[in-house]
């Protein structure tokens, strides 16, 4: 795209080089470790689903049994498939049920037995990835049979807690102009170290992310896509302690987007940094294979830190997310990097500052489907001011060619918005897009004016911070509260006990498939 800010290409190259330097040690750690959730994802991709009578998934039962018997240093696949072949079980579910009762024996096989276990595991995973590949092709056929919505795509959240209530709300939102439906997760699900099973009807400020809920919503939106002649995308959340599993289920059920940020779970959910980065690399490899667009969460930093003073931390996080995403195989077209319209309206020239920040991000990542988030921190009970503020957000979005607009709602600072509030929000963005959709083509800030100078200032501050991170290490920077103010030490938080260093001979058939095709 045409540059409007006169950014120095050498400074941009330096920023990316510094991000890579900061990210390489994290990638090295991820390549030499595994987690319980990575190993559970392997079993899910191999076809193991379902849960015991208490609702605990069979993948949890089987991984726990293997870990107790042999450890996970060699991965779950070798001991599990060896036990499947030598124990006379019909399938992995039968093995898991026996393991839960303490009736299955596990070992690390060698020689011909190891080769047989590897072959069986590889065949099972090939079937799982075949389904993911077929879903990616199906998505493309659906787009060709309906149509691809023009950008910016309008993103709207539904989440009643009851998947059967979410479906008609999602379909109604699509009929009113939404291009992307996000089913926000039940509060606290990111802290569960298992994925609930089946269709759920009781959630808290959201709906549980389950394979069956994914399937039901995707089928409903396919029906609506055909009705409208416009492909409606579905998104959910690949974050938390089960990030790799949810990513795998998203690929198996043809979701289109997944929230997947490199630091959100660390900072805002106190999930251990090492666990997060290891899980994330595997999940992003799955997203890359499935053709899923990730959405990152830099907007959240500005809910805890000042949106002017901390603007450069957003850019630094975006550069880190870009590096980690591309290293895992994601294309530019899959990098839905996030940012937000969160400067206080009381700040002089606040709209110009927002334009500078949004245009900077657009020019740094010209081929990325950027996700722009609406104002939330400064929404009050004054619904009229809130509606106006959302209109300014929509205007900034179209002026700076943002790809995805998560619509703001004037009552979100008071209560969970009603359907009528969502309808008004859609009307707001439809008006702005219709009235000013081509304004970006005319937007030409003065190269030496306020907007361009502010953008170059933020970029320069980003480079300075990246230099600091490169010298101290990303894990130490997170521990110091560099992002979102909150301090998260590398050996603290939830889930560290699920991290395992790989032994020589570690075997993960999913990673073998993903690395070859990366």
Active-site residues: which are they?
264, 299, 371
> How is residue 5 written in tokens?
């800010």
d(CA 105, CA 428): 62
How far lies 221's CA from each of 121, 170, 251, 253, 350, in Å? 34, 8, 16, 12, 38
Residues 6+ apart with CB under 8 A from 501: 32, 33, 73
**CA-based torsion, 308, 309, 313, 316: positive or negative:** positive
d(CA 83, CA 203): 37
Alpha-helical (H) ranges within 32-50 are 36-45
Name the residue with tokens 């190259």.
Answer: 13
Alpha-helical (H) ranges within 259-300 are 264-269, 273-290
d(CA 459, CA 477): 19
**CA-based torsion, 30, 131, 251, 499: positive or negative:** negative
Strand, coil or helix: 381: coil
Radius of gyration of the chain (CA): 23
Torsion angle of the four alpha carbons 222, 163, 338, 343, in this order, in degrees rounded to the nearest 10: 130
> b or e along 17-26 (b: 16 or more beta carbons within 10 Å of the residue's beta carbon)?
ebbbbbbeeb
Q: How far is CA 437 from the centre of its chain?
A: 28
**Can you give the three-state secondary structure of 468-486, one letter per residue?**
HHHHHCHHHHHHCCCCCCC
Measuring CA to CA, which residue among 406, 334, 364, 390 is closest to residue 152? Answer: 406
Sheet holding 180-183, edge to edge: 335-336, 293-295, 257-259, 233-237, 180-183, 153-158, 404-406, 371-373, 338-340
> How is residue 421 written in tokens?
């509030």
d(CA 354, CA 394): 12
Strand, coil or helix: 296: coil
Residues 6+ apart with CB under 8 A from 511: 282, 285
């Amino acid at each position: 795209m045409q540059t409007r800010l006169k950014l120095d290409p050498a400074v941009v190259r330096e920023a990316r080089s510094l991000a890579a330097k900061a990210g390489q040690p994290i990638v090295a750690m991820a390549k030499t470790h595994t987690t319980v959730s990575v190993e559970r994802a392997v079993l899910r991709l191999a076809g193991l689903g379902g849960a015991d009578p208490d609702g605990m998934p069979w993948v949890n039962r089987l991984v726990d049994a293997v870990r107790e018997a042999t450890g996970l240093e060699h991965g779950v696949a070798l001991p599990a498939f060896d036990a499947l072949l030598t124990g006379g079980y019909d399938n992995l579910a039968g093995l898991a049920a026996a393991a839960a009762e303490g009736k299955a024996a596990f070992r690390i096989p060698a020689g011909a037995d190891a080769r047989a276990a590897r072959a069986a595991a590889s065949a099972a995973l090939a079937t799982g990835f075949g389904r993911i590949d077929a879903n990616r092709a199906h998505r493309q056929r659906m787009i060709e049979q309906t149509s691809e919505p023009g950008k910016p795509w309008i993103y709207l959240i539904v989440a009643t807690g009851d998947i059967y209530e979410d479906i008609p709300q999602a379909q109604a939102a699509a009929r009113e102009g939404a291009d992307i439906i996000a089913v926000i997760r039940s509060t606290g699900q990111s802290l569960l170290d298992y994925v609930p099973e089946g269709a759920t009807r009781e959630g808290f400020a959201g709906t549980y992310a389950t394979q069956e809920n994914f399937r039901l919503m995707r089928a409903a939106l396919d029906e609506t896509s055909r009705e409208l002649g416009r492909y409606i995308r579905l998104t959910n959340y690949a974050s938390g302690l089960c990030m790799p599993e949810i990513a795998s289920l998203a690929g198996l059920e043809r979701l289109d987007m997944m929230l997947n940020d490199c630091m959100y779970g660390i900072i805002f959910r106190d999930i251990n940094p090492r666990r997060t980065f290891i899980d994330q690399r595997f999940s992003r490899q799955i997203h890359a294979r499935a053709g899923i667009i990730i959405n990152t969460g830099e907007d959240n930093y500005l809910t805890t830190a000042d949106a002017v003073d901390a603007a450069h931390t957003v850019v630094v996080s975006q550069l880190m997310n870009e590096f980690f995403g591309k290293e895992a195989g994601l294309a530019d077209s899959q990098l839905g990097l996030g940012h937000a319209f969160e400067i206080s309206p009381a700040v002089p020239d606040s709209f110009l500052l927002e334009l500078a920040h949004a245009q900077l991000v657009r020019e740094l990542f010209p081929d990325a489907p950027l996700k722009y988030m609406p104002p939330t921190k400064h929404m009050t009970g004054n619904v009229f001011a809130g509606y106006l503020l959302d209109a300014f957000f929509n205007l900034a979005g179209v002026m700076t060619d943002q790809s995805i607009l998560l619509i703001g709602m004037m009552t979100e600072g008071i209560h969970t918005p009603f359907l009528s509030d969502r309808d008004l929000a859609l009307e707001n963005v439809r008006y702005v897009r219709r009235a000013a959709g081509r304004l970006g083509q005319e937007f030409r800030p003065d190269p030496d004016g306020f907007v361009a100078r502010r953008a170059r200032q933020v970029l320069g501050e980003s480079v300075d911070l990246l230099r600091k991170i490169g010298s101290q290490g990303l894990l130490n920077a997170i521990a110091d509260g560099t992002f979102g103010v909150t301090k998260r030490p590398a050996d603290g938080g939830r889930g560290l006990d699920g991290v395992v260093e790989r032994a020589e001979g570690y075997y993960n058939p999913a990673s073998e498939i993903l690395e070859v095709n990366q």
